[in-house]
Structure formats: C-alpha cells, structure tokens
Structure 1
Amino acid sequence: MAAKTPAAKNLAATDPLEDLRLLWDSGVSWVHSHWLAIAIAVGAGLAIYFLLSMIRSFALKRALAAPGQFTLTHIVGRVLHKTKSTVLAIIAIRLVASYAQPPAIIMATVQFVFTVAVVLQVAIWAREIIIGLIQRRAADGHNETLANAMGIIRLLISVALFAIAAIVILDNMGVNVTGLVAGLGIGGIAIGLAAQGIFSDLFASLSIIFDRPFRVGETIKYDTSTATVERIGLKSTRLRSLNGELLVISNTNLLGKEITNFANLHRRRITFRIGVIYQTTPAMLRDLPALLQAQVEAGGHEFIRSSFLSFGPSSLDFELLFDVFSDDFDVVAAARTDIGIRLFEAMAAEGYEFAYPTQTTFTAAPDGTMIMPYAESSKAKPSATKAAKPA
C-alpha cells in the first residue's frame, strides 16, 4: 500500500468529524470535572440577566412616561427600546464564563459571539441617538422636509454605522481589513463625485432645517426678490413673490447669497425725510424736531430722533426716525401712513411749507450784463419809448 502524502495527512488531521468528536469529549470532560462551578456560573448568569432586564424595563418606563417629544429623555427611551434581550443574555454569559473555566475553544466562541452582539448593538444605539438628536435639533416633528429626508438620513446613517461594525467584527476575527477600508473609501469618493449636485442640494436642505435661517410662511428677501416661503424641499425651495409668481430656487443657490428674513421683527424702524423751504424762519426750524417728536408720541410709537440733515438743492432737509412695535407688516404700514398724515396736518397748522424742486434762470446779454428773462409788460413799453425821444 502506498504511503500517505503530507497533504493527505493534513486533510486527515483536519477532519471535521474528528474535531467535533474531540470538542464533544472535551466538553463532557469539562462538565464532569467542573459541574459545581458551571452551576454557580449559570445561576449568576441568570441573576445578572434578570437584573439587566429589570433595569432596562424600569428605565424604559420612566423614559416613556416623561412629557414631550424628541427630548433627551425621549431619545434615551428609544435607545433602551432597541436594546435586545439576546444581547443582555450574551453579556451575562460573558461575565460569568471565566468563572466556570471552560475549554479554550468554548471561551473563544463565547468571546466571538459577545463581540459580534455588542458591536451590532452599539451600532443600533448610535443610529437611534444620532437620528434622535437630528429630530431634536430640527425641533419640529411635523416638518414636511424633515419627514421626507428622514428616510434618506436613516439609510445613510445605517449604512455608515453597520459598515463600521462589520469592519470591527472582521478585524476581531483576524481578517486583514486594510484593503476593505481602502476600497470603501474609494467607492465613497466615486459615489460622492457622481452625485455631487444631488448631495449638495440635500445637505443644503438639511442645513436649512437645522440652522433655520427661515421657515415656511416667513417672508424673506433673496437677491432682488421679496417672497414668502411656501415649501422647503430636498432639492429646491418654493417661494411666492409679492406679485404672485412662484419662484423655485435650488437650495444650494439659495444659501449661496445673502438672505434677509423679515419674520420675528418685534420692532420696525421707519425713517421719514422731510424738506421745508428755505424761507422758513430759524425759530421755526428750531421748533420742528419737537413738533415731529410730539406727533410720533401722540401716535403711540417710540420716538428715536429728529435732526437737521442737510442743505438740499431746493429744501432744508430734516430726518425723523421712530419704531413701531409689531410683527405684522400691515400694522407697520398703517402706522407709517398715520404718522405721515399727522405730520402733514401739524406742520400745515404751524405754517410750515414743504419744499418741492424749483429752479431760477438768469439770462445775460452778449456783453455779460443781466437782462430780464421775460418780455416787458405793455404798460412799460410806451414809457420807455417816450423816455427815449429827444426833448
């Protein structure tokens, strides 16, 4: 009979049935020799499992009973709700396994299962915490844009976290994950470059949700357009202009320019520029700021200042500033109209005259002497003629 080759010897040495039989024999021998330690370990493991389960149940009830949604307590409740009973059992087994002094292969198996379970559970916890904090930061559970984006956000977060968990598990198994990490990095860069425009608008949308430069229903000024925000989408935002046109602007372009938000203004400052004629007396000019202040205060608004501004081409210019305390622009417009009419009535009653653009033309003769810019009257002509006749 021919002798076995080295390869055949190695194959025989790694026979699965033989390994299984050896494992069974070592397990039986371990149970017979350490039955008391195993019993104690099992009892301690059950006690630890029930203790962890009670702690989870108690904390979960307290978290769910707390008022409010998307609070830190609510997020803790979501995390506890995602804690699996199987993971608690594996943790209990790992804590008492070394006391029973199991064979090396059983201890290695327990350690491997423990690592896989804990890594996956941590990934689930991290996903719930991140998503909960995102919803808490948005501070609006009924936000339509956030509701539409949550599916994509959950998918991206889940893929990233479980990819990291898989790498950690493979690394604990002794697999060289350097090439895998490099491949995932290159693949992520390629996908990011291919969908650059889509991700740019998506992240701009999330920036609007979290940073909240404006909200639906608020009036903003974008570039040269003043409009009301109707909807914030994943790719674009819809604005309704003052003239009624619908403006659809990509989120990236919208955040790329200066935005003026007219919402939540507890006060609006109104400025009037008032010009009076140059024939106004100095005493009336000195009294004018007090007159303007009195009319503003009579209208129930806060007077800021009134002062002489400049010598205009056709007027002596004064400036009036006052504040109207209201968030409603219609109320502000009505207040501006009321104060304007009050000022007109009061100044007219005191004899002030409003200036308007005027020009005076002077005409010169060819020799440079000033002449009348209009024809002489018919009554003056005979007198001039008689004066010109010789005596």
Structure 2
Amino acid sequence: MVVVAMVLPLIKCQIGRRLHARAGRDGAQLSRYTAQIVGGTRRSVMWLVALFVGARAVSLSPKIDAALASITAVALLLQVALWAQRALDVWLQRRLDRARTTDVAAATTVGMLGFVGRIALWSVALLMILDNLGFNVTTLVASLGIGGVAVALAVQNILGDLFASLSIALDKPFVIGDFIVVDEIAGTVEHVGLKTTRVRSLSGEQIVFANADLLKSRIHNYKRLYERRVLFGFGVPYRTSPEQLAAIPQMVREIITGQVGTRFDRAHFKGFGASSLDFEVVYFVLDPDYNRYMDIQQAINLELVNRFAAAGVEFAFPTRTVHVETLPTATAEPAGG
C-alpha cells in the first residue's frame, strides 16, 4: 500500500510536468488542457486505490472485502466525474474566451451549455454510483420520473423561465450588450440568467424581466439595426412660386447626398396642407448609431435653413386668414311713416 501510495503521486507529477513542458515548448493547447485535467486528480482517491491494492495481499472477511471494493469503485467513479467536469470547464472556458473576442452572442450560450452539461454529468455519475452500491436504478428512475411530473407541475413557472433561458441562449434574439425595446421599456441587456434577464434602462434603473414573459413580448433589437430609415417633412407657404416648388426636391437631394454615410431615397411635394404646401423626404443613415443619425439630421436641417434663405424660400408655420365682410346698414324709416 505504501509503495502504491508513493508511486501514484510521482506518476501524476511526471505526467503533469511533461505535459506542461510540451505545452510551453510547442504551444500545444491540448497538452496544457490535459495537464489541467490531470491536475484535478485527488490525493485521497490515490490513497484509497493504494489501500485497495495493498488489501489484495492479505486475507479479509468477505464483507470487508466487498465493502472496500465498493468504496474504491465509488471513489474511482467520483474521480472520473471530476476529470470529466474539469474537461468540461476547460472546454467552456476556451469557448468563452473565444466568444468574448469574436462572437459576444456565444457567451450566453456557453453559460447555458455549462449548466446543462454539469447537471447531465453528475446525474449519470450518481446513477452509476447507486447502481454500483446495489440499488435498483430502474425502479429509482421510474420513481424519479413520477416525482418529477409532480415537481414540474408545482414549479412550472420556474421551469418555463428555465426553458425560455435555453431558448434565448440557442436562438439568440438578443445578447448581452444589445439595446432592446420591450413594449414601452428601452435599455441595454446586462445579464441573461436562468430565470430572469436584467436590462439597464435609459433612466438608469435596472429592470428585471422573467425570461418566459420576455419571449412572449415583441422585442425590438436596435443593436442589429444595419441602417436607419429616416422620414421627415416640412412645409412652405402658399405664396411660394411654382419655380421654387419645383427646385426644392433637387435642393434636398443635394443636401442629403452631401452628407457622409447617407443614401438618398426620395423627396416629393406631398400635398396641400391647411396652411402650407407639404414636402416629404426619405433617406437612409448607413450607421445604426442613434447619435450619428441625430448629427446627420441636424446638419441637414441647418443646411436646409441656409439654402432656403439663399433661395428666398420660407418655412410655413400654422396661420389662419380671416375674411371680414361688412354688411350694409339698414336705412332708418322716418318717424310716423
């Protein structure tokens, strides 16, 4: 037992040293990850294996021998599960580091996959340990299935949020950092959890949505806006000459095309308003940033004011013309007439 207890740690250290040396020399990531997994070997498990090997050299009662074999088997299963969890953690960390630089949307998915993977791993390990200890796993699984139905009915809201979080992780309607609008609430996604999603609103407070309720709502994701369609209008007075009216659409086209990051669509004399001749303009801002859109719109408005002033065109404002007619006064009849 003493020999085995001394040899196993030496083997572990030797394997880890060689893997680290190879990773440092060749830059092999697989060797570095394998060294991390091997480093998760528990010393208590090695001592238990040494005890089991040493016990083979002596005569023990059947009960003690069977108990020692069962304990050793359970310890080995736990060690295998720890190795598997360490490998899963290493893989998830690798994916998470890659996601932070290339695909932010994958960060949420990695977190959800890690949660599901750990539950599946330890569920299988628990069933194998119980089976090794002599329990009827088939009956246990059936009992858990019946109990699981009852628990699912009791916590269906929580399970609904949990499955909604998995749907968010896989379908990715939004990710952390996206600016979204849900109903009348707008803000930036800060955290996507198993039950709730937290959004930092424009006014500063944090708003917490249940995942199931969030997926039932209509979500406007402005982070994925590739270009912004802008529609605006203005009016000129009725005294504007026909020549000036005809020149205004071309004037607006020149102003918009002169702005960097825009695409002109149309400018038309729309119709006759109550107190103005109305124009409608549509263009696209090729940048989804809202501040950039407002800067462009401000530049267009200022240029419109300058060009209209140079061309002698005025902007209309609400006016009302009142025509007053004086009725003829009635001729007074003479007294006694």
Q: TM-score, normalised by structure 2?
A: 0.61
1:263 alignment partner, SS class: helix
Which of 347, 362, 365 is the aligned partner of 2:308? 347
- 8 Å CA contact 1:63–1:76 kept in 2: the answer is no
Measured in 1, the distance between the counterparts of 2:21 and 2:157 equals 45
Measured in 2, the distance between the counterparts of 1:121 and 1:243 equals 51
Instruction: Provide the residue aligned with 1:375 in structure 2.
Output: 325
How far apart are 1:223 and its partner, in Å? Answer: 0.9
Measured in 2, the distance between the counterparts of 1:72 and 1:199 equals 37
* 1:164 equivalent in alignment to 2:124: yes
- More moved, 159-168 vs 48-57: 48-57
Distance 1:181 1:122, change over 3 A: same
- 8 Å CA contact 1:120–1:165 kept in 2: the answer is yes
- 8 Å CA contact 1:309–1:318 kept in 2: the answer is yes
2:220 alignment partner, SS class: strand
Measured in 1, the distance between the counterparts of 2:168 and 2:32 equals 24
How far apart are 1:336 and its partner, in Å? Answer: 1.7
How far apart are 1:66 and its partner, in Å? Answer: 9.4
Instruction: Provide the residue aligned with 1:321 in structure 2.
Output: 283
Which of 188, 195, 213 is the aligned partner of 2:155? 195
Instruction: Provide the residue aligned with 1:9 in structure 2.
Output: none
How far apart are 1:251 and its partner, in Å? Answer: 3.1
> What are the within-5 Å matches in structure 2 for residues 277-316 of structure 1?
283-308=243-268, 310-314=270-274, 315-316=277-278
1:192 alignment partner, SS class: helix
How far apart are 1:164 and its partner, in Å? Answer: 1.8
- 8 Å CA contact 1:127–1:161 kept in 2: the answer is yes
Instruction: Provide the residue aligned with 1:336 in structure 2.
Output: 297
Distance 1:331 1:162, change over 3 A: closer
2:325 alignment partner, SS class: coil
Measured in 1, the distance between the counterparts of 2:168 and 2:305 equals 45
Measured in 1, the distance between the counterparts of 2:250 and 2:22 equals 64
Spell out, residue by residue over 1:252-274, the C-alpha distance to the aligned partner (whole angstroms, 9 max, x if none).
32233122233375754433223
When the two chains are superposed, the root-mean-square deviation of aligned CA atoms in Å is 5.2
Distance 1:258 1:74, change over 3 A: farther
Measured in 1, the distance between the counterparts of 2:232 and 2:304 equals 10
Measured in 1, the distance between the counterparts of 2:296 and 2:257 equals 12
Which of 204, 216, 236 is the aligned partner of 1:256? 216
Measured in 2, the distance between the counterparts of 1:256 and 1:134 equals 30
- 8 Å CA contact 1:59–1:77 kept in 2: the answer is yes
Measured in 2, the distance between the counterparts of 1:191 and 1:65 equals 53
2:176 alignment partner, SS class: coil
Measured in 2, the distance between the counterparts of 1:50 and 1:215 equals 46
Spell out, residue by residue over 1:208-248, the C-alpha distance to the aligned partner (whole angstroms, 9 max, x if none).
567471425x5321112223446656644444544556534
Segments of structure 1 that go 5 or more residues without pairing to the other structure are 1-46, 91-104, 362-372, 386-391
> What are the within-5 Å matches in structure 2 for residues 43-82 of structure 1?
57-60=17-20, 76-82=34-40
Measured in 2, the distance between the counterparts of 1:277 and 1:50 equals 94
Measured in 1, the distance between the counterparts of 2:26 and 2:212 equals 39
- 8 Å CA contact 1:309–1:319 kept in 2: the answer is no
- 8 Å CA contact 1:237–1:250 kept in 2: the answer is yes
Distance 1:230 1:178, change over 3 A: closer
How far apart are 1:199 and its partner, in Å? Answer: 4.0
Measured in 2, the distance between the counterparts of 1:84 and 1:191 equals 36
How far apart are 1:321 and its partner, in Å? Answer: 0.8
- 8 Å CA contact 1:63–1:77 kept in 2: the answer is no
How far apart are 1:191 and its partner, in Å? Answer: 3.3
How far apart are 1:339 and its partner, in Å? Answer: 1.4
Measured in 2, the distance between the counterparts of 1:299 and 1:207 equals 42
Segments of structure 2 that go 5 or more residues without pairing to the other structure are 1-6, 50-61, 332-337
Distance 1:178 1:197, change over 3 A: same
Query: Which has the bigger relative contact order, CA under 8 A and spacing at least 6?
Result: 2
Amino acid at match of 1:375: E
How far apart are 1:182 and its partner, in Å? Answer: 1.1
* 1:127 equivalent in alignment to 2:85: yes
- 8 Å CA contact 1:75–1:128 kept in 2: the answer is no
